[in-house]
Structure 1
């Protein structure tokens, strides 16, 4: 008799593993890394968290809304707002919705007035705008965002109004791509490990691998050209501003409406001007 053969084990389909979604931590949770540091002023840090919670999209908020947005307790938010109101940096209306007051501008003006780069950039951008009739900006990297430190605008190129102090995500903007491309490798990998790749348009790069490739191209070409990744109809070109030690500390860019500004024209007509402005700015960093 033939021996009985064991029944074949059915094949188990291999399901490709998917990376766990990044958990976005609240600003209050991010402060926990400083727990135990005797020199860290937690109350000041909480006040700054509350200030940064106000945005152009949410200029007025209640204590409850601020508590949700910041991750701070209602009691902590209330104390921060009480202090800001007493000092004139914030106020509230009859419905107890809080907003920042014009006195807050003194903090930004202090930075602008003391920043050699910002002071040097503004007249350079104004000269280019006067000659070329386009919008130009200078920005630096702050966390995962770029922050505008100088800007001239001849027409509004985005649905939101950009100004000094405006913040945009670094991964999908030309200025952000430049600043990320020249980061030390360990800092870049840290950024990629925590970044949230929001898909703003169908053209937006939404993966770390694709962004790495785009950043390699930026380093090879010496500029970043981003086509409608942040907003449909917006196209921008940026170049690095280097300190004497070679470190890229800022970036200067041109932004315009895609329908009237072909990508080839941006490179052939404006790239030389941007590089010239970047070279001028580099002189002020010596």
Structure 2
């Protein structure tokens, strides 16, 4: 039986001011789309972007791709209009930029409740400032406190983090690894999805693949991307290999044998596996089943 796991291997930013891009997104094999009203849209195009994005969400045609609208921050000239329009459009989630404290999320969650936003409209939070990192435990923990349990996903904004900290974006991202892993630990502690930041060089597909694999090894659910050519590296990097799935199924089968019901650890093909590995194995199998059900 296929898993109902929600895949977010590839989450593609699409500029809301580009109608052609919004239409093309319906044919792309990205798991989710962030229809952007913020960074990817010039100030003089904000109004048309809002109109086009919300019309696109209402019209549908995106299949099972998750649709997220990234709005402008509430304190900007466009923030309030963005929020009202996004709620009316009813996307899967609204992505809030520059969430630096739990108070930001509380304010937005209260606004969604006041505007009678459906419970299906969730909140995603951009983690992209030094204050975001310093407050990451409290931001993630707000999942349990916000009305409607709306917070479901954290999204790293590594470009903004680099800008504000002066950290260099280099292969391997060593300067950022402490912040990245702190955010990931906070997300996992609260049962949140967490997505890695973007890879900027759209011409370097191999470099993108390398960073996607690093993201997967670090423990991320997926990668935010900025170009269709980055979809395949993200999708394949976050998919368990045939060898991993075969090993996972074997671990599950061996532990399920009646004679192993009370054993805490078992040697399989020369390696020791403890009962905690069953959960990891089931996750790998569920991931593969979800990918097979999706078809890409």
TM-score for the superposition, normalised by structure 2? 0.28
Task: Give the structure with the larger helix fraction.
Answer: 2
Q: Which has the larger radius of gyration?
A: 1
Higher relative contact order (CA 8 A, sep 6+): 2
